[in-house]
A = this chain, B = another copy of it.
Amino acid sequence: MKLFTYPGAPNPRRVHMYLAEKGIEIPFERVDIMKRENRSPEFMADINAMGGVPVLELDDGSHIAESIAICRYLETLHPTPSLFGASAQEVGLVEMWIRRIELYLMMPVGMVWVHGSPLTKAVVKQQIPEMAELNREMVKNYFGFIDRRLAKSAYLAGDHFSMADITALCTMDFAATLNGLPHSKEQVYLSRWYEEVSGRPSAQEK
């Protein structure tokens, strides 16, 4: 197995943090997305037709792309400690929270990045600055929603740390690099969770 990745970007970080939590070691090959190596004809023909990283290459030479798909593949091979839920109810709740974080936090953060960052201007088809502003508000509102959730449970999906927490942390750390998008210290439940999750050894994977 081999992981094509770009350590430092939020999606690759989700997988690296997952691997660290599970104690799984996989050799990796760095694909420089700032040099657009992930968009080379060879990469897109042989490794991932969508041109994204991370991608896991299996021993038979086939590939699995999309961060959560890679982690679910590994979770099936290494079920414990569970990061996708042990009981049926936990499985449902972890998936619900992964999706809520992706849909209502990661996607808007991505829109702020794609439509508002000077770094993406040269590579996207069209930037729509209004879209960045609209989504900036959505992100701020959603931090409030997460804060209210974390008033009621230790982690997003309940009592156990899960892939949903990994997804939220990687998204928040990326959002904080976009002018004016950190969470507020007044969000005390979110701040408590953020401090604790940021202190896990796996969170040092950047």
Contact = CB atoms under 8 A, between A and B. Distances in A.
A5 to B, nearest CB: 16
A99 B130 contact: no
Contacts of A92: 56, 64, 69-70, 72-73, 76
B50 A69 contact: no
This protein's copies in its complex: 2
10 contacts: A56-B92, A62-B89, A66-B99, A69-B95, A72-B91, A76-B87, A125-B134, A128-B128, A128-B134, A131-B131
Interface residues of A, number: 35
Secondary structure at chain A's binding surface: helix, strand, loop or mixed? helix
Interface string A62-92: 1011101110110011000000000111011
